[in-house]
Structure 1
Amino acid sequence: MRCYWDEDDVWFYFEVDAEGWVTRQVELEEPELTPVVAASLAEWQRARDAGRLAGYDSRFGTTAEPPVSEWEGHDPEQLTSEEFDEVWVSARRHLAVTPR
């Protein structure tokens, strides 16, 4: 799914599991759609467990905490997994070489 947050001029892309928890998240800032977050919950947990969380956060950011069922005031647009993956791959490529 994706939604636009006009207060910050940011597009949010989310992959969620069956319970509504965000498993991967991408944030793109307008006007150039510059990637500022491309975080995976599983990677974040592995980085935390390995003591490398600060490095992961500074490079890729974090995913949203509460499940989407608890969110208020957003109107998400549904995406296919292929559409999400296209944005994910591009954002990860950008953040892997460009610090946030």
Structure 2
Amino acid sequence: MTRWFRSYWAEEDTWFYCEVDTDGQVTRQAELRGPLEKPIAAASQIEWEAAQRAGTLTDYETTFGATAEVPVQEWEAHEPQDLTAPQFETVWRTARAACQARARARPPHET
């Protein structure tokens, strides 16, 4: 069963919003940093794996970041708060749009 939660990491002043599959693996993750909760990442594990296979991982991570590789059980120290699917989707869409806007604003790669 899919689960959604958010967890605050004070040492990074970051909220992590996670979608987790039945096996406890993070499938999508959004990160909001600072007092204004600025979106800094919105990564999908499926997209990350596809970018890795395609040789475009650096571009993907520059735009969207990456999902957590640590087991969800290690998040317990950060007191995760359960979310509903709609709550997660709202944050996901907002963070995703911010990441895409930043990517469009970056100068093109020089060859």
Query: Which TM-score tier does this pair reach, normalised by the shorter chain?
Result: over 0.9
Per the alignment, residue 8 of structure 1 pairs with 12
- Structure 1: 5+ residue runs without aligned partners? none
Give the CA deviation at 1:85: 0.4
**Letter matched to residue 19 of structure 2:** E
Distance 2:80 2:95 in 1: 20
Per the alignment, residue 62 of structure 2 pairs with 58
| Structure number, greater radius of gyration | 2
Regions of 4+ moved over 6 Å? none
**Letter matched to residue 78 of structure 1:** D
Give the CA deviation at 1:70: 4.1
1:2 partner SS:
strand
Distance 1:70 1:29 in 2: 20
TM-score normalised according to structure 1 size: 0.93
**Letter matched to residue 21 of structure 1:** Q
Going from structure 1 to structure 2, the CA distance change for 1:31 and 1:71 (only over 3 Å counts) comes to closer
What CA RMSD, in Å, does the superposition of the two structures yield over aligned residues?
A: 1.4
TM-score normalised according to structure 2 size: 0.85
Structure number with the higher helix fraction is: 2
- Structure 2: 5+ residue runs without aligned partners? 107-111
Distance 2:27 2:71 in 1: 10
Identity among equivalent pairs (%): 50
Distance 2:9 2:74 in 1: 17
